[in-house]
A and B are shown apart, each in its own frame.
Chain A
């Protein structure tokens, strides 16, 4: 049985590549990085490894116990590795999709999305709290099929390493054949975008084919500038708030909700409310489609470039002063 953790070996490479991307940003796009954001993202990464040490053992022990009841003796045959890698990536697609569509899972996964930047340090912005979700359940089918938990852990490690390099704006598009099969920086930028057209799309880890198969694929368009982050941006660099804000919000919602709605705040999609006071990603997209249908040219830039806006104050000027509009 191999005793090997690929991510441990990859960490120095991660650090080096972040440095290389910073130099690229310095020369080409200084706004691609922000020191405090980088500090938070990297702290998330370090904290997640600590959380893994604290809680990962329990998950591994449960997998080992379940493996005793496996259907097939797959063992360590060479062919088992690529099969395991592909099936583990399929599992990743579903656990990731659940991470966006079930608020309990989103409470942990939101951390990876809460930066308004998209760079290699964002890739390291990993959750501390996944052990408190039911994400582990997605791993049991592969264990019960007969894949050894160590094999799954190693394949999962390589999956994570693959996903590092796609968190960048420094690469536009890869060759067409590659874009067709693999997850790429272009596909994953869509996943991190908050533009209505892109919300909850491209969940893939390594192979983008899963999104194409299950109807969640959206290609990147150059017609629209991508905005990164979450629908309600944090607006704070407080690390602990960044880690726990969605857990706190979810628990508050459950506490305040009428009894018959409490479970929905745990299991329905982020943004769902029993009184319709907030929007889910589907609602945001539907509203955007309606706005586009009314006026396809509507966007914040085009609309007001034609000089039709009623007030055009200079910075510092108060347009509502001496007016009765607000009465």
Chain B
């Protein structure tokens, strides 16, 4: 009975199931081979390079790198603030929009990018509250400029 059932399943469905199996197996092999090692930001130069890749010409004047190298926050001369966070074997980044939120929990800076799929990031840096202040001041400046 089961054999008859399998024979009756449409070839398209069998193809679909076969493809799903192949996808699962290839993904598992990639895991087993430990492909895609996670990169670390170990120096300011790394962070600058990654930031330039996110936004060509972004020139950071201030940089804080996460203690474990899992991301960084950078400020350009014109006051833009960029978040770099790991995206598996690469870094992804965003220049933070006005509705982004920065908070501090103990020695961790928590950054909500205001972009749901991009999500939040946590950076362990010294005196993270300084970045929150910087962000609030820059938001105030923008508001004043807009109202002028």
Contacts and interface: CB of A to CB of B under 8 A. Distances in A.
Among B12, B33, B138, find the residue whose CB has the most chain A CB atoms closer than 10 A.
B33
Interface string A260-272: 0000000000000
A315 B26 contact: no
A235 B87 contact: yes
A91 interface: no
How many of chain A's residues touch chain B, expressed as a range? 35 or more
A288 B16 CA distance: 45
B130 A234 contact: no
B46 to A, nearest CB: 9
Nearest to B70: A315
Contacts of A318: 64, 125-128, 130-131
B74 to A, nearest CB: 10
Interface residues of B, number: 63
B128 to A, nearest CB: 7
Interface string A1-40: 0000000100100010011001101100011111111110
Contact of B34 (A8, A30, A39, A234): A30
A313 interface: yes
B119 A33 contact: no
Interface in A30-88: 30-39, 42-43, 45-46, 49-50, 53
Contact of B124 (A32, A38, A316): A316
A176 B92 CA distance: 36
Contact of A18 (B26, B54, B92): B26
B51 interface: yes
Interface in A167-217: 194, 196
Interface of A: 8, 11, 15, 18-19, 22-23, 25-26, 30-39, 42-43, 45-46, 49-50, 53, 116-117, 121, 194, 196, 227, 233-238, 241, 245, 284, 287-288, 291, 299-301, 303-305, 309-323, 325-327
5 contacts: A116-B89, A304-B48, A313-B65, A320-B64, A320-B134
